[in-house]
Every structure is written in structure tokens, then in C-alpha cells.
Structure 1
């Protein structure tokens, strides 16, 4: 039950971070938002290190570094897919792939959730597909954009898998490695494309909020994984788009489509099934 609570809280915080990130990208360039939010997250994890101490081990930091590269690559590929494809195809393809990869990895490495937990996993994957749907049809989706979306989902899913490979005793050190490598990737990308990383006026607070919430969610994920199976924790975490939708409805007044409301309902059902399993 502890893992379910932590993973569900992680999904809520991830979704809130994405909401703030979406607000930030309306005011500042995407690369500036990504880079500065990553720095804000690094600052938070350095503050939390003394509060949640762990053993500094080279192997665990390496897993974190690899996770950071995987996550950063997923982000770049996701934006590339959005630029060349149709959002109503790219978003759900990326979301379901990122959710399915840790489940497959967990089952392949010997995890055996109960029957009802597996039913909850299937329901959760379906809910991610539904809540990620955006207005408009999938006409015109190119094979290249679909492949980029699949690769982006693999990058995001790889982030969760690689972090899970770090030892429990490492504490938050893998997240330090992950953030250092992701910041390096983004900075190199900014240099290669000659993009400025200066936020627009008044945008820094929102960017910092997005970055700190994202790192807080990462911490909750690590804690959840320490108490539960990767195949269950990761799929619960992947429900984060539902909280983003709810915030968009409550704060911005955006209307939810019937398919998205069905997805939110499926997400709640999935959490309940996994919790009681």
C-alpha cells in the first residue's frame, strides 16, 4: 500500500509539474524552459541530500547518469515528433510506450504481480492512451513521426528502468547523476543550435516551479520503487497526464473531451485495483 500511495502521489506531482511546464513554454522558448527547470531540480535535490542521505557509489551514480541521458533524449525526440507529426498520434504513442517499457522489463526480470494487479496495469495503460488524446484526428501522421514517438517513449521508459536499477542504499545520489547528465545534454544542444536560454520577463518563477515539482516527483518515484514492484509503480506513475488535464480544467477552464474523462475514470479504477491486489 505504501508503494501505491507514493506512486500515485508521484503521478499527481508529475502532472502538476507538466502543467507548470506547459504554462512556462507559452512565455519562454522550450529549450530555455527545459534547461532552467533542470537546474532548479538539481538545486532541490542538493538541498534534500542531507535529509535523505544515501551511500555514494559509482555504479549507482552511473545508472543515474544513464537515466538522465535517456530522459533527455526522450524529451528531444518527443519535441521532434510533435514538430513533424500529429499530436493526437504522437502523445498517446509516447505515453503508452513509456508506461509499457518498465512493465515489460519488470515482468521479464521476474516480477509477478497478482491477477488483479495485472488487470489494473492493463486498465492503467488504456487510461494513459485515452487521457493523452488531443483534439483532431490522426490523419497525416508520418511513419517518421510515429517512430520518433516510439523512441521518445522508450527514452522516458528507460529513465524509470535505469533509475530502478540503482541500489536502495544509494538514496538520492542516482537523481544527482541523472540531473547532471540531462543538464549537460540540454546545454550541448543549446550550444549546437545556438539557442539562447534566457527566459521571458516574468517566466522564471513558473519555470522554477516546474523544475522543483519534477524533481520532487522523481524523489517520490525512487521511494515508491523501494517499496514496490517496478511493473506496478511505473504504471501508476504513468497516470500523470490525468492530473495535468484536471488542472487545465480547473485553472484554465479547458474543456475535457468525453474520451479524456473516460481515461480519468479508468485511471482511478486502475489505482483502486492495484491498491487492493
Structure 2
């Protein structure tokens, strides 16, 4: 299976996981959703270890743990920025940086996609910004600190993609085990330090578990994709995940898409087509 197909599937699954995560946070505290969903993801990837090819290596766990810390730090900063800034500004800034950071790193590392692929990557970055935009009437809340936190959050998420790519290709899913162990440890420590409850709301556990398993499945697809293709392509395609979240929200919850978001979804489809050109 090609890297483009795997990365596109990764974006769809990431978006579906976020949809379930959003449903879960309506019934439970954020820290409870994050910790329990990541525990479910860790159990899922552990079951996959004997099935998928690859062997254990200390370097795999090391790179995975570094990626997990970057992703967890990005998540904490993202939630802080959402709470203290304007969501319609924070979300697209974070999503765009998380896509652009790996793309720039890949180009700096010597990756040279075809012109059509580069055009698709550029269009995908625009699409990420468009589909991430949300309506807000409180633009005055945008300050420098939330903007800096949004930029740092995007760098954390982008760092997750980059660091996973550094793990040896023959170590299978072991980098994801390291990533989950590190991120769970960090988030649990933060929850205990801030005295946040980790008990899920009534009836929320199945939704939380589904979000965690889907998120890990997306990570597996990403790792398989980046082992087969260029980081500059795979990471940007994976970052198109907000499009599938929007589509699910539209047809499952009946939420309306704004015209700018529809344009972003269309742009994402065109971008995938351009990147897929051989």
C-alpha cells in the first residue's frame, strides 16, 4: 500500500478519533478523556506488536518517548491556548504549524517532491487552515500569550511527526509504545499536580476507549506511511484530519459547515489528488 493512501487513511482515522474525543469531553473532564483514551491506545498497540513486522530496539523506544513528550506538551499548550484565546484563531494556527513544521524539516533534510506534489502540499497547508476555522465573536480575547502557545502547540504536534520518523524503520510499532508511555506519564503527573479528576463521566468510557483505539490506529497508519514515503508529504496529508471531523459533525450531529470550511474540505480533496500524481 502506498504512502499517500496510508497517510490519507491516517487523516480520516485521526479525524474520526477527534470526533469521538469531542463527544467524550461532553461527558467527562478533559484530563480523564486524555489519560483513559491513551491507555486504551496503549493496550491496542501492544496487541499489534506480535502481528506487525518489526523488532524491539532501545532507539525505537527512545525516539518514541521523545515524540510522546512533544505530542503531550503540544496537547497541554493547545488546551491552554483554547481556554485563554480565540478558538477561531488558535485552532488554524496550531493546525497549520503542525503541518508546516514537518514539511519544512523534510525539505531541509533533502526531500525533493515532484512539482505537482509540492503544489498539493502547499494547497493542503491552506486547506488545514480553512477547515480548522471556527466562528467566534470574541476576537478581542486574542493576545500574544495564546498566540505563542498556539505556535508552540503546533510545533509540539509537528515534532511528534518528525521524531517518529527518526525511529529505525525495522522496529515496527515499538516507537508508538514509547510515545504512549511517555505521554501518559506526563499527563497523569500534570493531572495529579493540578488535582484534576481522572474518573470518566457516566456512560462515557466506551466512547473514550473508541477515541483512544482510533487515535492509535491513526498513529499506526502514519508510522507505516512515513516508513514508505517522504515526511514532507505524509505529515501534511495526515494533518488534514480536521476535514473528516467536520464531515462527521455535519452528518452525525447535524452541525452546519461554514463556507470557509467547505472550501477547506474541497481544497483538501484536490490536494490529495495532486499529491497522488505519480
| Matched residue, 1:55 | 55
| Matched residue, 1:264 | 265
| Matched residue, 1:221 | 222
Task: List per-residue Cα deviations over 1:109-156 (Å, max 9, x = no partner).
Answer: 010001110000010000000000001254431000000000000000
Give 1:144-163 correspondences, 5 Å limit.
Answer: 144-163=145-164
1:272 deviation in Å?
Answer: 0.1
Is residue 173 from structure 1 mapped to residue 174 from structure 2 by the alignment?
A: yes
| Matched residue, 1:72 | 72
1:53 deviation in Å?
Answer: 3.5
Give 1:73-222 correspondences, 5 Å limit.
Answer: 73-136=73-136, 138-222=139-223
Q: Distance in 1 between matches of 2:103 and 2:143?
A: 27
Q: Distance in 1 between matches of 2:53 and 2:247?
A: 34
1:31 deviation in Å?
Answer: 0.3
1:195 deviation in Å?
Answer: 1.3
1:190 deviation in Å?
Answer: 1.0
Q: Distance in 1 between matches of 2:275 and 2:52?
A: 27
Task: List per-residue Cα deviations over 1:31-71 (Å, max 9, x = no partner).
Answer: 00000000000000010000013121111210000000000
1:76 deviation in Å?
Answer: 0.2
1:269 deviation in Å?
Answer: 0.4
SS at match of 2:134: coil
1:227 deviation in Å?
Answer: 1.2
| Matched residue, 1:28 | 28
Q: Distance in 1 between matches of 2:140 and 2:202?
A: 38
Structure 2: give runs of 5+ residues left out of the alignment: none
SS at match of 1:33: helix
Task: List per-residue Cα deviations over 1:72-93 (Å, max 9, x = no partner).
Answer: 0000000000111000000000
Contact 2:84 2:141 in 1 (8 A): no
SS at match of 1:51: coil
| Matched residue, 1:237 | 238
| Matched residue, 2:17 | 17
Q: Distance in 1 between matches of 2:180 and 2:102?
A: 20
Higher mean C-alpha deviation, range 6-15 or range 51-60? 51-60
SS at match of 2:227: helix
Name the TM-score, length of structure 2 as normaliser: 0.98
1:194 deviation in Å?
Answer: 1.1
Structure 1: give runs of 5+ residues left out of the alignment: none
Contact 2:3 2:228 in 1 (8 A): yes
Q: Distance in 1 between matches of 2:254 and 2:113?
A: 39
RMSD of equivalent CA atoms = 0.9
